[in-house]
Structure 1
Amino acid sequence: MADNFNDYFEENTQWVTGNSAAPVVEPPKPPKSRREMRKRRKNRQRKRWLIAVIVIVVLGLVGSGVYFGVRHISAVRAQNEVNARLTEDYEGPGTGQVSFTVESGEDALTIGRKLVKAGVVKSAEAFANVVGANNVNLYPGTFELKKHMSNADAMKILSDTSNAKGFFDVKAGERVSDVIKGAAEMSGIAESDFQSIVDGDGSGILPSEANDKFEGWLEPGQYDIKSKTSAKEILKMMVDRRIAKLDSLGAPTGSEREKILNMASIAEAEVNQKDDYGKVVRVILNRLAKDMTLGMDSTVAYGNNVKSSQITQKMLDDSSNKFNTRIQKGLPPTPISNPGDSAIQAALDPPQGNWLYFVTTDLSSGTTEFTDNADEFDKLVQKYKANNKNAN
């Protein structure tokens, strides 16, 4: 009863201060029962909880609004900063002179950061954006640039290999004789030093499956040969990179690896279009399976150290030339060049087909036609002569 009475008293008592007269009102009606008093008390508690929940929800909404608002403002500000960096540029060709080196494997953004540090361009992001938009390749080497160049001017210089200094370029399809001549000129090391190693057994440089011959075992690509002090170091660098590339392509080891390089080198020398490499390899395999001579002009030319366009009838009739596959059966003794990735991949997985002959019927377009019929081959030869009457 005490609790009930106190609740009733607090609920219905009115306090009067000073001389204020209490308003005249009818006295409150007492609750009819304890049940009604408990109901009133629960209603008051329910209202307090409802108010507390509403306050919490409102505060949460306000807090969330502030949080996401701040995040949005920060994101907009960051995006504006990125957009600004993507358009930052100097005007004009620049001034002064800067010697700038691009290392092998560096991407446009990495190069851009180095350019910014060297004072060449204004923004690494803007430089990389220009390179990507123009879909160009940046090449390793040392280039002569200027301070405060426009992104486009810097890109133009770095994407032209003729502007590069200090890095030597081994091209796919080049012979060892061409490679060592160029390497000697750029490195300042006597060509005879290279030649003596090439003429030797390749000890400490070549793998055993190369059979002491360097042809085919120099990987195409860019090389910093000025940092090397000997011909052996330079050649070993090229051979090591070739071995690593063959491993990465899944080329078989041992004599099969040498065979792959041999066929790939012939394919690269015989046709001008990458899509035809695999068909040439299939022709080689089909001829070997039928115990036919390969009949490749490119191998005859290699054995005489001339271009295919320079071979003569006397060369074609020379049986002493071990590379004369018009007469000698089987693959030539070694590859006839240093084939690139596309030719090697074609040799690893040539398409299926019964082809035994092929003729590049149009030299200007590089169109090559394949057949398994000797009569059709004769027609292709006549087509070649008709299409290339003025060919040198």
Structure 2
Amino acid sequence: MSFASSFKRILGVLFVLTALLAGAVAYYGYSRFSGFADQPLDGLQPDSKVVVESGDSFRRVLGRLREAGVRQGSDLDWQVLARRLGAAGKIQVGEYPLAPGTTPRDLLQRMRDGKVVSHRFTIVEGWNIRELRAALARAEPLRQTIAELDDAALMARLGREGVHPEGRFLPETYHYTSGDSDLDLLRRANVALEKALDAAWESRADDLPLDDKEQALVLASIVEKETGIAEERGRIAGVFIRRLRSGMRLQTDPTVIYGLGSAYDGNITRRHLETDTPYNTYTRDGLPPTPIAMPGVAALRAATRPEAGDTLYFVAIGDGTGRHVFTRTLAEHSAAVREYVRRYREQHAPR
């Protein structure tokens, strides 16, 4: 055998060995990488999560994962996987749960796609601004930014300088993510209220004794506080519209209570009804100067499209349902009030 042929054979053997070695290395690398990418995260505590903040580098995100208890995979493993998944440089801000069974591949795909945890905050119909601010202060993980702002400064930050905050935030459930602030949520609620108010005013009934949509908002807030019964809203709005039309005073307790502020102890008295404030509709004509609560869409609709009728009075039935008796004359109303008092005394009599 010639030297040339022997050399070619040796080269062939070396090529085969090199190919086998490269294949073995590639297979090892693939097996190791796949084992890392698709192996459930270990070391997690119950309810673990990782929060990605604005400006975080990938190394900082990995640091947060380590802080959460994740030990598997080297930083290089995570970086290579992120590049393969198209997540490198595209991880989105937010909160991500580290639930049992989550793999590195699952987590990086969610981070790439921004599938963050969504939290909920509900503004309740009938809340006033103090109740809303107190609830926001308790909301987690909502970022707190308004605690040091008074109401005037708060509205200025929302771009509504000089506007009273009462009634300016639409009651509904808002979704937010980690990193969002209380101001962000209030801005959305304010925009939602303005849209709902505009829609209600545009579809209003003819000949309402209301000068503008601001008065409609005030009336809607009173309706909201007077009843929690959906089918009564239109009837109660109708009573108030007829009173306004005829020049009668509204004489509604919720406005008196609002005017008392922190002085109200839960029991309204005749002295309260006779104490004049800008919100006392027993001592003053017309609507109070601002809303007294946050009205929902149904109350806005009732205030702008009240139910027709001839009733001018209403009083609680007193049976625990929250419903009311509607009457046309003062004599009928007085009789309904006496019946309410009788039922109240009967229910609260010593046993």
- After TM superposition, give the deviation of residue 188 of structure 1 in Å: 4.9
**Is 1:318 matched with 2:271?**
no
User: Does the Cα contact within 8 Å between 2:239 and 2:311 map onto a contact in 1?
Assistant: yes
**Is 1:329 matched with 2:280?**
no
**Pairs aligned (count):** 238
- After TM superposition, give the deviation of residue 233 of structure 1 in Å: 3.1
With a CA cutoff of 8 Å and minimum separation of 6, indicate the structure with the bigger relative contact order.
2
In 1: Cα distance, 2:252 partner to 2:96 partner: 40
In 2: Cα distance, 1:376 partner to 1:144 partner: 64
* Superposed CA offset, 1:17-62 (max 9, x none): xxxxxxxxxxxxxxxxxxxxxxxxxxxxxxxxxxxxxxxxxxxxxx
Structure 2 counterpart of 1:182:
135
- After TM superposition, give the deviation of residue 383 of structure 1 in Å: 0.8
**Is 1:244 matched with 2:187?**
no
Structure with larger Rg:
1
1:278 to 220, 234, 237: 234
Listed as ranges, the matches of 1:4-153 within 5 Å are: none
User: Does the Cα contact within 8 Å between 2:123 and 2:172 map onto a contact in 1?
Assistant: yes
SS in 2 for 1:304: helix
User: Does the Cα contact within 8 Å between 2:223 and 2:236 map onto a contact in 1?
Assistant: yes
- After TM superposition, give the deviation of residue 391 of structure 1 in Å: 5.4
* Superposed CA offset, 1:322-369 (max 9, x none): 111111111011111111121111112111112111001124122211
TM-score w.r.t. the length of structure 1 is 0.53
In 1: Cα distance, 2:176 partner to 2:309 partner: 43
2:327 to 365, 368, 371: 371
User: Does the Cα contact within 8 Å between 1:282 and 1:352 map onto a contact in 2?
Assistant: yes
- Matched residue type, 2:231: D
2:172 to 202, 214, 221: 221
- Matched residue type, 2:127: E
* Superposed CA offset, 1:269-322 (max 9, x none): 112311111111111111112212110001011111267952233321211x11
- After TM superposition, give the deviation of residue 380 of structure 1 in Å: 0.5
- Matched residue type, 1:219: L
1:166 to 119, 137, 150: 119
In 1: Cα distance, 2:98 partner to 2:287 partner: 46
TM-score w.r.t. the length of structure 2 is 0.58
**Is 1:354 matched with 2:310?**
yes
* Superposed CA offset, 1:53-82 (max 9, x none): xxxxxxxxxxxxxxxxxxxxxxxxxxxxxx
- After TM superposition, give the deviation of residue 142 of structure 1 in Å: 9.6
In 1: Cα distance, 2:196 partner to 2:96 partner: 25
User: Does the Cα contact within 8 Å between 1:322 and 1:332 map onto a contact in 2?
Assistant: yes
SS in 2 for 1:333: coil
Which ranges in structure 1 are unaligned for 5 or more consecutive residues?
A: 1-95, 100-140, 149-163
